[in-house]
Each structure stands twice: as C-alpha cells, then as structure tokens.
Copies of this chain bind each other. A is one copy, B any other.
Amino acid sequence: MYREQIKVLDCTIRDGGLVNAHDFSVDFVRRVYQGVSAAGVDYFEIGYKNSPEFFPGAKFGPWKCCTDQDIRLATEGVDNGAKVSVMVDVGRVDMDSIRPASESPYHMVRVASYVKGIDKAIAMENRFSDLGYETTINIMAISRDAGPQLDEAMDQCERESRSLAIYLVDSFGSLYQEDIEKLVRRARQWIRTKELGFHGHNNQQLAFSNTIEAIMGGVNFLDATVYGMGRAAGNCTLELLLGFLKNPRYDVRHVLDLIANDFLELRKQHEWGYILPHMIAGQLGMHPQDALDVRKGSERDDYRAFHDRMTALLSA
C-alpha cells in the first residue's frame, strides 16, 4: 500500500504513558523520538499537554502535563525530527499557559473528546488553531457513542473546526473490519474537506487490520505505537504498519532496534497487549477500566469470573 498523503503518527509515549503513569525518563523519550524519526514517521506525540492544577494530588511523570522545557530536552537537535504532537483533554488545560506555535517546541495539538463534549473540543481546538498550531479532534469511544449524535458531532467538526483531521478512535478495541468500513463511509458523508484519522486498540488483535481497513476507506492519519505499547491491550504496532505501507521513506529497522534495546525490557515491567480481561472487554464492547482493575488484584487470571461479571453488567 502506497499513498503519498498518508501520515503516520507515533503515540507510544502518549498512549504508552497511560501504562506507566507517564513516567518515562527524558533519555528514553529522546531515544524513542530519534528512533521513530529515523524510521520516517511523520508525527511524534510526546504526551499530554494538560495543566497540573487540574490533577491535584495525583502522582504522575512529566508526560501527562509536559512543559515546553520537557519537550525541548527530549526533541531538540534530533536530525530530521518528526513533527511533535501533544494531546489535550477538554477542560484540563490552562490556556493562558500556552505559547504561540512560533515560540513552542511542538507543532500539533490533538484534542481528545467524547461525542458529548464536542462543542467544547471544537472551541478548544479553535484556540490552538488561532495560536498557529496544526490541530485534530479525536472522537473517542466511537463504538459506544454511535447514535445520531455522532453524525451531528462530525458535521459540527466539519463546519466549525479548523482541524487538519478528525480522528475516529476505537477506544474499547471492539470494532470489526466491517464496522470500520461502515464507520469511515459514514464519517465521509460529513467530513468532506478534512482528513480522517484512525486510532485503534488491540483488545481483539484487530488494531492493525482495522487500520488497514481504514486506509482502504481513504483514511490518511494513522496512529501506531512501538511494540503496540498503549493503554490496556495497546495499539496498532508501528512495526506492522510501516511494513504494510510501502512508502520508501519508512525504515522499519529503527523501530526494531527500539524494541530490542528498550521495549522488551519495558514490557517486563509493565503489561499491555493480548491479555484476556482486555480481550473480554473488547469482545463485549466495554470500557477498559474494569479489566485494568481486575489485573491489579488476586483475580487477575480468573477469566471466567471476569467474563461473567461483565456479561451481568451488560444485561443489568
């Protein structure tokens, strides 16, 4: 598959940060940035640019509320560096702390939002756009919030936002390829002048194939993470995606090096991937929190009990 317009965004540090409370060292983040840049990846999402006052008492590493200084330390001076992206959550950013794009070490801001928060997301996105940033809106939990309000939200994104792309986010990892095909076609009815993006989760080992399905439907902004590192079951792996995209500017070997040198070890310290409670949650179309919780306790491998509890919740 080769299509010039395709952009690959690596969000290992951002989505992977949900696995380790955003606690990566600057050196590690810099190595990942160097590696994915050398691999030819277009964007590198370095974390959340939320503001710490919205998380009183919470403990987390630097990449949940990255400062411009953190970002500079990890990215400045890297040859042919990928464009740096940050994610923000609606209502969790002190906008007065944000510098104009021309004075800042990141290029793109992605606003994550549920369908119900889309008004606020667009307002926020517009403010970042005013400051000169490339922007996207990432509509989360799209398997759950799939009613008519999704159409309205997409229509609104098309008319009111200045986003480069509107992302469809399969937060629960529950969509099958035919769902993706229909969803992309539906999105295209509304989003006519912007790019579409896709971000998958791998609960059912479908993040990569769903990304391929999205590509086939014309989606050009694609999220992936090194070795699939990301919340719960993780994401489409970057090494698989680059292998599928035949664009000669991508060189998967740098991603292979990152895995060999860093991610094998990291995977021993933190879990993500094909883990049965996450599979079950994906199969049932549920939010990952219950599965994340059960993995912390003594019933972490009592899959039948988890399955029965989740099924009962669904039919309650």
Contact = CB atoms under 8 A, between A and B. Distances in A.
Interface of A: 176-178, 202, 204-210, 212-213, 216, 228, 237, 239-240, 243-244, 252-253, 256-257, 259-260, 264, 273-274, 276, 279-280, 283, 301-304, 307-308
Interface hub of A207, A209, A252, A308 (most chain B Cβ within 10 A): A209
Given A274-B274, A283-B240, A303 B260 contact: yes
Given A239-B276, A301-B260, A301-B264, A206 B208 contact: yes
A259 B253 CA distance: 34
9 contacts: A177-B209, A177-B212, A204-B208, A205-B205, A206-B209, A257-B303, A257-B304, A259-B276, A260-B303
Contact of A177 (B213, B264, B283): B213
B176 A212 contact: yes
Given A176-B244, A244-B176, A303 B259 contact: yes
Given A205-B240, A253-B307, A256-B307, 16 more contacts: A176-B212, A176-B244, A177-B213, A202-B205, A204-B208, A208-B209, A209-B209, A239-B279, A253-B303, A253-B308, A256-B276, A256-B280, A259-B303, A260-B301, A273-B274, A274-B274
A308 B307 CA distance: 43
A308 to B, nearest CB: 7
Nearest to A208: B205
A263 B234 CA distance: 22
A301 B268 CA distance: 15
Contacts of A260: 276, 301-304
B178 A283 contact: no
Contacts of A212: 176-178
B216 A178 contact: yes
A261 to B, nearest CB: 9
